[in-house]
Chains A and B, each alone.
Chain A
Amino acid sequence: MKKNKIVIIGGGSAGLACANALRQKGIQDILLIEKEDELGGILNQCIHNGFGLHLYKQELTGPMYAQRNIDLFMQLEIPYILNATVLNITEDKIITISEPEGCYQIQAEVIVLAMGARERTRGNIQIPGDRCVGVWTAGVAQKYLNIEGYLVGKRIFILGSGDIGLIMARRLTLARAKVVGVAEIMPYSNGLTRNIVQCLHDYDIPLYLSTTITKITGHNRVESITLCQVDDQRRPMLETAREVEVDTVLLSVGLIPDNVLSEKASVEIDHRTKGPLVDSQLMTNIPGVFACGNVLHIHDLVDHVSMEGMLVADSVVSYLNDQHFVQRIPVEAKGELNYVLPQYFDTNSESLLIKYRVTRPKSKAFLKISSNGKTLVKLPKVDLHPSEMQTFQLPKVFLDKINYNLVVELCDE
């Protein structure tokens, strides 16, 4: 069987950043596997700008951000395979791969999961009505338009105010389609403020909050949708129903980490993040299997994805140097937190970067970090929003004080 020290699954921003960082640390035996016919992942279709502000201190478009990483990858001469599908991975780190040269297995010493995410579909949110043509996820419509040059419709309604939906509202308008409106079931938008302003307000596209689509109607093609306001329990209020004529519906209703492969290898999944449960080295429950990027948890900024890839590179080097991560202390989320990452702190870690998301918008709150009943840190926080991931680097002086458990809590006072 073919052997590789490190196999990275996925050639998007997480996989590329991890591969580049590993090679720069002197690791020679790396193989990166990509399913598409080019590297760069989802960035290739995200032609808008605003990427790289944290990492490169400038605003790049998605393809430009990808190109930087790809150019470095090529310069470092890291081996890779395109058009390659990983069919299976096992607990013993045997990877089954199907690619143009054939179907074979690779025994890896380390596997880095960097497969990204999938979009939630109409099936996931169960919109009743006809099963007609013209219902797309926003990312698929984005790929068709930006890569293939194919416009999915002329009169379009967008469900969900996530950033991809907002970006597509502007993109479709510039491509001369009519975007009739955007509906969001929550009472607040799920997208960044700059996208609300620059994608909707700029083009007078209305955003309907606490509103959802209760029915899609059409014989062959979408002909209309039924919009309904929802109450505070998110139940449609039928007396508010109104029909809107459109030929296309785009869904921007969230992303799910793509862990079909991870689960085959018995990687444990967090029901909150929908990604692997990891320790502070971003290692899963399977020793030598690491995760970074959207497969681990959904990010709002690609810069954070790249940084996570680099962090995994550090961890992989420690792992290969035979540093055994023995004691894992659980990290718990409390209060109005959607999730906290990592889910474990391993006591050999030299740093701990905590990532978290709030469950609802908060103008003021305190982040409290405690261990075994003792408060380590309490920080005031302002303007927290579910759509913006927060990070906190726990100062090194506190790492020795962690024992039994670590509780990350968002409290009002």
Chain B
Amino acid sequence: MNKQVICIVCPKGCKVTVSKQDGVYTTTGNACIRGNVYGIQEATEPKRVLTTTVKINGASIPRCPVVSSAPILKDDLFKVISLLEAVELTAPVHINQVICANVLGSGIDMIAAKTMEKKHDL
């Protein structure tokens, strides 16, 4: 197995080649050890922190920003988006409040990234 990965750990942007031989992963093209760790993770099980918004009622704006509590498997991102499209919150919501627990059984929660108070009627 040979896989090309651009390292994003620092601004240098090394082009890292990840190879697998006899069950062992090796990297070439990385200038430092961080590129080795990143390259193998990225080539074998890429993950991303997911940020998006969900609908909220009763707040001063109609969307509440949310973020995953940890990086999610890249292949699962759109599945989580689909889950969140069905979510509807009601203000107030507090920062770090769990919006969607244990998404896809991953142990990762989607949490609110903003405190949103109930809108006071004028």
Q: B13 an interface residue at 8 Å Cβ cutoff?
A: yes
Shortest 10 CB-CB contacts between residues of A and residues of B: A194-B8, A193-B13, A63-B114, A47-B65, A149-B63, A61-B113, A63-B113, A383-B12, A149-B62, A63-B65
Chain A residues within CB distance 8 Å of chain B: 37-38, 44, 47-49, 59, 61-64, 67, 145-149, 174-175, 192-194, 196-198, 201-202, 382-383, 385, 388
A-B contact number at CB 8 A: 67
Min Cβ gap B40→A in Å is: 16
Number of B residues near A (Cβ < 8 Å) is 25
CA distance A61 to B69 in the complex (A): 11
Q: Are A192 and B60 in contact (CB under 8 A)?
A: no
Q: Are A67 and B114 in contact (CB under 8 A)?
A: yes
Min Cβ gap A405→B in Å is: 31
Q: Which residue of B lies closest to A385 (CB)?
A: B11
Partner of B65, one of A38, A146, A175, A202: A146
Partner of B53, one of A149, A192, A383: A149
Name the B residues within 8 Å of A64 (CB-CB): 67, 95, 113-114
Q: Are B63 and A146 in contact (CB under 8 A)?
A: yes
CA distance A49 to B113 in the complex (A): 10
Q: Are A388 and B11 in contact (CB under 8 A)?
A: yes
Q: Are B63 and A61 in contact (CB under 8 A)?
A: no
Contacts A47-B51, A49-B67 known; list 12 others, CB within 8 Å. Answer: A44-B114, A47-B113, A61-B65, A64-B95, A67-B115, A148-B62, A149-B62, A175-B52, A193-B11, A201-B6, A382-B12, A385-B11
Q: Are B48 and A202 in contact (CB under 8 A)?
A: yes
CA distance A202 to B73 in the complex (A): 12
Q: B87 an interface residue at 8 Å Cβ cutoff?
A: no
Min Cβ gap A381→B in Å is: 12
Q: B33 an interface residue at 8 Å Cβ cutoff?
A: no
Name the B residues within 8 Å of A388 (CB-CB): 11
Min Cβ gap B16→A in Å is: 12
Partner of B51, one of A61, A148, A149: A61
Q: B61 an interface residue at 8 Å Cβ cutoff?
A: yes
Q: B98 an interface residue at 8 Å Cβ cutoff?
A: no
CA distance A370 to B12 in the complex (A): 28
Q: B101 an interface residue at 8 Å Cβ cutoff?
A: no
| A–B complex contacts, Cβ < 8 Å, 5 sampled | A47-B67, A49-B49, A59-B49, A64-B114, A193-B13
CA distance A197 to B5 in the complex (A): 9
CA distance A196 to B5 in the complex (A): 12
Q: Are B65 and A193 in contact (CB under 8 A)?
A: no
CA distance A197 to B65 in the complex (A): 23
Name the A residues within 8 Å of B48 (CB-CB): 198, 202
Min Cβ gap A95→B in Å is: 27
CA distance A382 to B12 in the complex (A): 8
Q: B74 an interface residue at 8 Å Cβ cutoff?
A: yes
Name the A residues within 8 Å of B113 (CB-CB): 47, 61, 63-64, 67
Name the B residues within 8 Å of A146 (CB-CB): 53, 63, 65
Q: Are B11 and A174 in contact (CB under 8 A)?
A: no
Q: Are B67 and A61 in contact (CB under 8 A)?
A: yes
Q: Knowing A148-B61, A193-B8 touch, does A67 contact B67 (C-beta < 8 A)?
A: no
Min Cβ gap B113→A in Å is: 4
Min Cβ gap B67→A in Å is: 5
List residues of B (70-122) whose CB comes within 8 Å of A's CBs. Answer: 74, 77-78, 81, 95, 113-115
Q: Which residue of A lies closest to B53 (CB)?
A: A146
CA distance A192 to B55 in the complex (A): 30
Q: Are A47 and B8 in contact (CB under 8 A)?
A: no
Name the A residues within 8 Å of B51 (CB-CB): 47-49, 61
CA distance A385 to B6 in the complex (A): 16
Name the B residues within 8 Å of A385 (CB-CB): 11
CA distance A2 to B8 in the complex (A): 52
Min Cβ gap A32→B in Å is: 19
CA distance A103 to B83 in the complex (A): 48
Min Cβ gap A378→B in Å is: 22
Name the B residues within 8 Å of A67 (CB-CB): 95, 113-115
Q: Are B67 and A174 in contact (CB under 8 A)?
A: no
Name the A residues within 8 Å of B78 (CB-CB): 174
Name the A residues within 8 Å of B8 (CB-CB): 193-194, 197-198
CA distance A193 to B42 in the complex (A): 15
CA distance A388 to B63 in the complex (A): 32
Name the B residues within 8 Å of A47 (CB-CB): 51-53, 65, 67, 113
Name the B residues within 8 Å of A174 (CB-CB): 52, 77-78, 81
